[in-house]
Structure 1
Amino acid sequence: MTRKPSIKPERPWFSSGPTAKRPGWSSQAIPHGLLGRGIRAPEVVQRFAYGLQMTRALLQVPDDWVMVYVPGSDTGAVEAAMWSMLGERPVQVMAFENFGKVWATDAKSHLNLEPEILSAPWGRFPDTSRVDPAKDLVFPWNGTTSGVKAPGSDWLSTEREGIVICDATSAAFAMPLPFGKLDVVTFSFQKALGGEAGLGVAALSPRAVERLDRFEPPRPVPKVLRLRGENGFERTLATGSMLNTFSVWTLEDWIDGVEWGLSIGGLEALIARTDANAAALDRWVSATPWIAYLAEDADIRSTTSVCLKIVDPRVEALDDDARRALVTRMKALVEDEGAAFDIEGHRNAPAGLRIWCGCTVEAADIEAVTPWLDWAFETAIAEYSAD
């Protein structure tokens, strides 16, 4: 039996959303002066505009793109783009993890389109040779629920006729994004920088704005997803104006995270921190026989939402319910010890573990949590065998 470790992570938060707060975060660091003010007050609108400006600077969004806030986190941002922009030409959707599957269902069942669905099993990325630059494309850059990321960007065309809507929520601020090959890039506060949930951002290329100006979707669009006004793209949204009432606390917390990212060296530093965390976890995975990556191909393996499968023969022989029960027990063991929180995989993914390795996590905490995972596995499997 593996002995219970004596050293715990100082910050045992490994959830894939909302993710860990930045190192040194405190609620006292969040400005309180605008709490309770009206959402249309000039000072509040100015603060929301500042949030977009700083986000643009940190993410290195091109100068000719516009950025807007959307309710509903990244889900709302993707839905706003789909509802407001799709229908002009044929659509392809990449469905290789939970949210890609959701976008495919929405395109077919709710937008009444006939999307071509480019699918792949859990742990793999779809066949990129099937992507047609004459069609619109919707896809996640990083599959938060599958631990799979896009294999670079060579397969995306700069001469495309369609628009490319990229769900980048667990890639933004952690992986390079090829803005020249994308038209809508969405993300949420609750992922890479550890913000509070509820707000999403959509960055729109000139081609995306042109689509909004020219194309009127053949469907009623709910107000909270409406990027168009009577004359095309609603340009006031690009100034920090809101589609509905947003949380000032959430916005101030986001600004705190963005300013931290800029203070430590910007996007390059955030990517480097993420890579160092993923490398620390990889050293343990490579040396541990009972665990393996869900994404077996290293070229498509996520460095943020790292999804793991248990490959011990005693577990592989179990049915799905029993495997999930084992993971649940492991989760309870480490949480009861205060060693790690929220390490289970997504409910719709194959049973396994998921460790967030984004930039707000410390590599030392990744190294500290792995002995606890060994202990939890051996404890859980011993209990199961005893039963």
Structure 2
Amino acid sequence: MENTVLIPTDLLPKNRKFGSGPSSIRKTSLAKLADSDLMGTSHRQAPVKNLVASLRHSLAELFSLPDGYEVVLGNGGATTFWAVAASSLIRERSAHAVFGSFGAKFAQTVSGAPHLKDPAIELGGISARAQGQETASDIALLPGEQEGIDAYCYPAHETSTGALSPVQRVAGGLNLVDATSIAGGVQVDISQTDVYYFSGQKCFAAEGGLWVALASPAAQERAQEIKEAPGSGRWIPPVLDFSVALKNSVKNQTLNTPSIGNLILWEDQVQWMLAEGGLAAMEKRTRQSSAVLYEWAASRPEVCPFISNPLEQSPVVVTIDFKDIDADTVIAQLRANGIVDIDPYRALGQNQIRVACFPNIEVADTQALTACLDYVIDRL
């Protein structure tokens, strides 16, 4: 690009990838993938099934899974899981907290299901403001015990905005919690959920193409109940049938062929997390990195956090608004220096940057990123 600001090499981070998904992968994981003999072998045979068993066991350990809960794997990402929930977990009507793009997309998926009633939607600050409403908080909290509601759905975290929501049980139905981009980055009490679901391309530093759900006995029973309901007339294709995913998972396999490379990366990352100290250690890492960015934003009058309430600021994805500076110009300058993927969420339409602080991001690299931001901004 013309008029490139050349950042001194001693300021540059060692790892220059800060994308919110796909996320930065540890080189040791990539080396393990390159050395593996599992690639190109049958996923129905013992070596791959043993890998799946190890991943399921390790995830259960990482999340201190309560008795009766199961680690369920399915083909497709978290977006596919919304269709799974609409097909085989929501009985008649769901309620949705919407405070960003991904919560809205889940509600839209359910709205299009012909066998379900229109969902009840609680709009939080970001989504409500977009429709001209005023709210005191960026986060929509769902009221429980709503008549006719059998499933309560909310994101634990919005990847699009970097907004954090408390994970707490809503009474009166199944609790389906979207943890796509925060699972593995913070501590959580899984007993407060019935389905805590996520993908691998965020904190777990793998690839897309698989969803994982930590499912309570109530969720397992609900899927079977819906499948066996007489005269329901509901068509559930196997790939969207949660009971089929559960049946395969306890056999340490998926319904259809998975990405074996993805499983290798995912399992290696979980083993690393456990060796480093589990979720407590991962949360310490993410909060240290994100604190660097929030403190940097507080130090410069030209920028401010997109999420103003500190209690709702994400430790894993930080969004920062630019006031009198063109964020696209800053992003382009950093990319020209090899620092990539701090672009904002495409559909949000904000003049901002979005920076991942997943467990693989070292605090020193986040500190180097802010130094590079200072260097570029001061020279524009």
TM interval, short-chain normalised: 0.7 to 0.9
Question: Which residues in structure 2 correspond to 1:1-387 (within 5 Å)?
Answer: 4-5=7-8, 6-22=10-26, 24-30=27-33, 31-88=35-92, 90-111=93-114, 112-122=116-126, 124-128=137-141, 130-132=143-145, 135=149, 136-151=151-166, 153=168, 156-157=169-170, 160-216=171-227, 218-229=233-244, 234-312=246-324, 315=325, 326-338=326-338, 340-351=339-350, 352-379=352-379, 382=380
Identity %: 27
The answer (yes or no) to whether the contact 2:13–2:365 under 8 Å persists in 1 is yes
Amino acid at match of 2:360: T
**Residue-by-residue CA offset, 1:150-190 (whole Å, 9 max, x unaligned):** 1453xx34xx2310110111121112223222100101111
Cα distance in 2 for residues equivalent to 1:18 and 1:220 = 33
Residue 254 (structure 1) shift = 0.9
Question: Is the CA contact (8 Å cut-off) linking 1:81 and 1:184 kept in structure 2?
Answer: no
SS of the aligned residue for 2:234 comes to: coil
Deviation string, structure 1 residues 48-103 (Cα, Å, up to 9, x no partner): 12111112112222232011111222222333233211133x31011111111101
CA distance in 1, matches of 2:289, 2:342: 15
Q: Which deviates the most, 241-250 or 27-36?
A: 27-36
Contact 1:122/1:349 (8 A) holds in 2: no
Give the unaligned 5+ runs of structure 1.
Answer: 316-325, 383-387
Look up the equivalent residue of 1:12 and give its one-letter code: R
In the alignment, residue 19 of structure 2 is paired with which amino acid? S
From the superposition, tell whether residues 295 and 67 of structure 1 become closer, same or farther in structure 2 (CA, over 3 Å): same
Instruction: Tell me the amino acid that sits aligned with residue 66 of structure 2.
Output: P
Instruction: Tell me the secondary structure at the aligned position of residue 122 of structure 2.
Output: strand
In structure 2, runs of 5+ residues without a counterpart are 128-136
Cα distance in structure 1, aligned partners of 2:332 and 2:369: 14
Rounded Cα–Cα distance in structure 2 between residues aligned with 1:361 and 1:211: 38
- Distance in 2 (alpha carbons) for counterparts of 1:28 and 1:328: 34
In structure 2, relative to structure 1, the CA distance for the partners of 1:242 and 1:280 (3 Å cut) is same
CA distance in 2, matches of 1:205, 1:66: 7
The separation in 2 between residues aligned to 1:121 and 1:141, in whole angstroms, is 15
Distance 1:109 1:118, change over 3 A: same
- Secondary structure of the residue that 2:221 maps to in structure 1? helix
Q: CA deviation at 1:309?
A: 1.0
- Looking at structure 2, the residues matched to 218 and 373 of structure 1 have their Cα atoms a distance apart, in angstroms, of 57
**Contact 1:87–1:218 at 8 Å: present in 2 too?**
no
Cα offset for 1:110?
A: 3.1
Which TM-score applies when normalising by structure 1? 0.86
- Compare 177-186 and 210-219 and name the one that shifted more: 210-219
After TM superposition, give the deviation of residue 104 of structure 1 in Å: 0.9
The answer (yes or no) to whether the contact 2:95–2:142 under 8 Å persists in 1 is no
Q: CA deviation at 1:285?
A: 1.3
* Matches of 1:162 and 1:36, distance apart in 2: 43
Name the residue aligned to 2:133.
Answer: none
Alignment size in residue pairs: 358
1:128, distance to aligned residue in structure 2 (A): 2.0
Q: Do 1:125 and 1:149's aligned partners in 2 also have CA atoms closer than 8 Å?
A: no
Task: Please say if residues 78 and 186 of structure 1, whose CA atoms lie closer than 8 Å, have aligned partners that are also in contact.
Answer: no
Amino acid at match of 1:101: A
CA distance in 2, matches of 1:117, 1:271: 30
Task: Note closer, same or farther for the CA distance 1:286–1:129 as it changes in structure 2 (3 Å cut).
Answer: same
TM-score normalised by the chain length of structure 2: 0.87
The worse-fitting range, judged by mean Cα deviation, of 346-355 and 79-88 is: 79-88
Give the distance between the partners of 2:21 and 2:334, measured in 1 at CA: 19
1:133 deviates by 5.8
SS at match of 1:175: coil
- CA displacement 1:195-235 (0-9 Å, x = unmatched): 12211101110110111122237532233222235xxx852
- CA–CA distance in structure 2, aligned partners of residues 116 and 246 of structure 1: 35
Residues 363 and 194 from structure 1, CA distance in 2 versus in 1: closer, same or farther, beyond 3 angstroms?
same
Question: What's the CA shift string for 1:353-382, capped at 9, x where partnerless?
Answer: 101011110000000001222334455xx4
3-state DSSP of counterpart to 1:35: coil
In structure 1, give the amino acid aligned to 2:336.
D
SS of equivalent residue, structure 1 residue 122: helix
In structure 2, how many angstroms separate the alpha carbons of the residues matched to 1:371 and 1:288? 12
